[in-house]
Amino acid sequence: MTWTRTSREILPCPPSALWAPLADFTRWPDWDPDLAGLELHGPAAVGTTGFLVPNGFRGRVHSRVAEPFTITALTEHREIAFRQPIPLGAMDLVLTLTEVGGGTEFVQKVTMGGPLRSVMVAIIGGDVVKHFDVKCARLAELAAAQADRDA
């Protein structure tokens, strides 16, 4: 069995403006309140691994016991996905951008599977979903700032 949650919001900017902070994995902590750090072990591409560090106590534990995540999808201006191993299972995170009437629909789909999924949902999954509105607000701010710099 799996646990899946999908969140969506329309952001007032084109997918190209949102792509810069999304595609630069090192900037994820700038918009994701659950992350203290993120690094890739090579150029961003399907199959590249990386390591993320959650904020707070979870980050200290994660840094000691977690395996690297793997990028599972990367389509410019459209989609980023990765799989993070969790004890006896995995968490899949898929972020998609779809242009809609003068803005972008930003969708986050989180899926956790494995026999310990309910424990992992309680530890991390709930916050990934709970903070979606903060992620969206910060992404929109970063996209607007980038557009101002490009103007």
The candidate with the shortest Cα–Cα distance to 56, out of 30, 27, 32, 36, is 36
Query: What is the number of other CB atoms lying within 10 angstroms of the CB of residue 85?
Result: 14
pLDDT band (50, 70, 90) for residue 137: very high
Rounded Cα distance between 137 and 12, Å, is 10
More confident residue, 98 or 65: 98
* Contact (Cβ atoms closer than 8 angstroms) between residue 82 and residue 67: no
97 or 129, which is more confident? 97
Task: Write out pLDDT tens, residues 88-128.
Answer: 788 899 999 999 988 999 999 998 877 666 766 666 656 66
Distance CA 21, CA 52 (A): 16
Comparing 124 with 32, the larger pLDDT belongs to 32
Task: Look at domain 2-23+69-150 and name its CATH class.
Answer: alpha beta
Q: What is the pTM of this model?
A: 0.89
Highest mean predicted confidence (pLDDT) among 26-30, 60-64, 85-89, 114-118: 26-30
* pLDDT score of 59: 60
pLDDT at 24 over 80: yes
Candidate from 27-31, 73-77, 144-148 with smallest mean pLDDT? 144-148
